[in-house]
Amino acid sequence: MTNAMDRLYGQVADKGHVCLGLDTDYTYLPEDFAQDFSSKGEAVLAFNKAIVDQTLDVAAVYKVQIAYYEAMGLEGLGAYSETLKYLRKKGALVIADVKRGDIAKTAEMYAQAHFAGDFEADIITVNPYMGMDTITPFFPYLEKGKGIFALVATSNPGAMDIEGITHGGKKVYEMVGEMLQKLGERFMGRCGYSAIGGVVGCTDPQATIGIRRALDKTFFLIPGYGAQGGTAQDMGRYLRDGNGGVVNSSRGVLLAYRKDAFRGMRFDGAARAECIRMRDDIHSALKGE
């Protein structure tokens, strides 16, 4: 069975490990660019399209965080929907970062909302910390080639308040990861990874020693690179033979045009340059250069 992670595995092999986060706050837009549009939603959508056009060949996948669009109300959700459609039209893989976590019929509705219709994505993020019955309602879509990234060990400062609690000799995140990998056995792809992936942050690599060995069939979405403190040198422990994970950067790319290194460049050109720098940084670290 070919699954979403097979496609993502192929994208990493071809383009590198960059997951470009389109967590687009209106304040991130250059003023002279934003003023040419009649609404914030239109401006954000145009900003996103310009960045996508410049980075398609250097980003393995795009992650669109829904909260930034919800905050703008109905016009924001319109920009969110059109961003997803534009990405899919361009042939890009899309992760909808929605972190849904509920049960029964509600979870079924979340699955329908984000795997079909106006908000369709290839992969979505989910929160399993209410229990594994938050995951099973997504199964019908996984059988059709969609994928999920479930929170395992996150990158926020308070992650280990709960995820790091030890019970019976294991941390909570270790037990959650093992349960997710067990669930994912029925959705194995040709690349050796399940359609059920895991979100594993790189901000505290000492806290997650051994996680790749334990979750050897789980593809990782790795947040925390750059602005949150994760480095390219941390990546090796989360990958397997140079693949099996994508590394997210949002503000680092969207705001690259404000960095001294890219000063004077248009925002989309700076985003491309930052993606290339990040891709090469990770590649060099994996090679031990």
Mean pLDDT of the chain, nearest integer: 95
Domains of the chain: 4-287 (3.20.20.70)
- What's the alpha-carbon Rg for the chain, to the nearest Å? 18
CB-CB neighbours of 53 under 10 Å:
12
In this predicted structure, what is the pLDDT of residue 209?
78
* Residue pLDDT, tens place only, 131-155: 999 999 999 999 999 999 999 999 8
Weakly modelled stretches of the chain, pLDDT under 50:
none
* Residue pLDDT, tens place only, 35-63: 999 999 999 999 999 999 999 999 999 99
In this predicted structure, what is the pLDDT of residue 181?
97
Quick check: 267 and 30 in contact, CB under 8 A? yes
Q: Which of 49, 99, 170, 259 is catalytic?
A: 99
In this predicted structure, what is the pLDDT of residue 152?
97
Query: Any residues with CB less than 8 A from the CB of 265 and at least 6 apart, and which?
Result: 257, 273
In this predicted structure, what is the pLDDT of residue 287?
87
In this predicted structure, what is the pLDDT of residue 202?
85
Q: Is 99 annotated as catalytic?
A: yes
In this predicted structure, what is the pLDDT of residue 224?
84
Quick check: 22 and 83 in contact, CB under 8 A? yes
In this predicted structure, what is the pLDDT of residue 289?
52
Quick check: 113 and 90 in contact, CB under 8 A? no
For 111-175, what is the HEC assignment? HHHHHCHHHCCCEEEECCCCCHHHCHHHHHHHCCCCEEEEEEECCCCCHHHCCCCEECCEEHHHH
In this predicted structure, what is the pLDDT of residue 288?
79
In this predicted structure, what is the pLDDT of residue 101?
96
In this predicted structure, what is the pLDDT of residue 103?
95
In this predicted structure, what is the pLDDT of residue 150?
98
In this predicted structure, what is the pLDDT of residue 227?
66
Quick check: 107 and 83 in contact, CB under 8 A? no
In this predicted structure, what is the pLDDT of residue 232?
86
In this predicted structure, what is the pLDDT of residue 225?
83
CB-CB neighbours of 80 under 10 Å:
27
Read off φ and ψ for residue 226, nearest 5 degrees: 85, -110
Q: What global pTM score does this model have?
A: 0.96
